[in-house]
Structure formats: C-alpha cells, structure tokens
Amino acid sequence: MRSGARRQAGARRGLALALLLCAVQGAAAQEGAAGGAADADRLRQAVRADYVLQCAGCHRVDGRGSSPHGIPDFRQSVGAFTHLPTGREYLIRVPGAAHSQLSNAELAAVLNWVLGEFSAAQLPANFQPYTEAEVAAARPNRYDDVVPVRHKLAETLSSMGFTLSDYSYGSDRKP
C-alpha cells in the first residue's frame, strides 16, 4: 500500500511537472511571439520617425507632397517605379533620398516604408524590398539632372499602363 501510494504520488508529481513544463514553454513561446511583434512595431515606428524628420518636411506626413512647389504626390504612384530596374534606382538616386542624412540601411527601410504606406497597390506582386546593399550600390551615382530621368520613366510606365502623379518640378522644361 505504502509503495503504491508513493508510486501514485510520484506519478502525480510527474504529471504536475509535465504540465508545469508545458505551461512554462507555452508562456515562453507566447512571450517570444509578443516580443517579436513588439520589436517589429518599434522598428516600424523608428522608420516612420526617420521619414517624418527627413522627408515629411517636403513630402508631408501623409505623402501628398505639394504640386505647386514641385513635390510629387507619393500616394497611389511611387510604387509604380519599382516595375522597372531604372525606376527602382531612381527612388534611391533622387536627390531628396540620396542626399538625406539617412544611412544606407535607414534609407532602404524608409523607401520600403514609403512604398508600403503610400503605394502598396502599385507594387509588383513579387516586389523585393530594398536592401542596404542595393542602396549602397546606387546611391553614389547622383543624377546631373533628375528632370529628364523622371519624364522618361513616366513615359515608359505610362506605356505599361501606370499613371504617375503630377510632376511639376522643372515644369518650365517639360517635354
């Protein structure tokens, strides 16, 4: 009897221990997932802050820019550039982006954020986010004159069925 009781007690302890382990593992897994989501959220906030500080002075917090001041609207437009390799590069090399104080990694993150936030519907289905390496490779190649580059891209994209937002910068030189 005594040994049976001990065995039962032992079995109960074993079961209790197993449940406790499950609970701890479950909690750890949940904490891990919540931690990951919190980290991703913090990162998104940091990238948004970079956009607000470095870009929104001209492009506005909601991305609408200011056509009378030559600042194009990002909304439902800027994503279209990523359908062309030269367009992908343009987003990095455009003076406001290339000359910003952001590091290459930060600029890659801001461009990805801008595209997702303001123009997700214009992105290709297989859109590959910008990486630090891609930004680092294209960024030093500054344009002598960005205006004809933008007009050429608009022409090509328009033949592919994309309508870009109005571009009044350098409008005295419109083709």
Contact flag: residue 108 with ligand HEC (CB under 6 A): no
Contact flag: residue 102 with ligand HEC (CB under 6 A): yes
44 vs 79: CA distance, rounded Å: 19
* Binds ligand HEC by CB under 6 A, chosen from 93, 150, 157, 162: 150
* Binds ligand HEC by CB under 6 A, chosen from 58, 120, 133, 137: 58
Q: In whole angstroms, how close is the CB of 20 to ligand HEC at the nearest point? A: 51
Q: Interacting stretch for ligand HEC, rule CB under 6 A, among 1-9, 22-30, 34-42, 159-167?
A: 159-167
- Residues near ligand HEC (CB under 6 A), total: 26
> Closest Cα to residue 154, out of 135, 174, 130?
174
> Closest Cα to residue 123, out of 163, 78, 69?
78
86 vs 116: CA distance, rounded Å: 19
| Angle between helix 104-118 and 2-54 (nearest 10) | 90
Q: In whole angstroms, how close is the CB of 30 to ligand HEC at the nearest point? A: 37
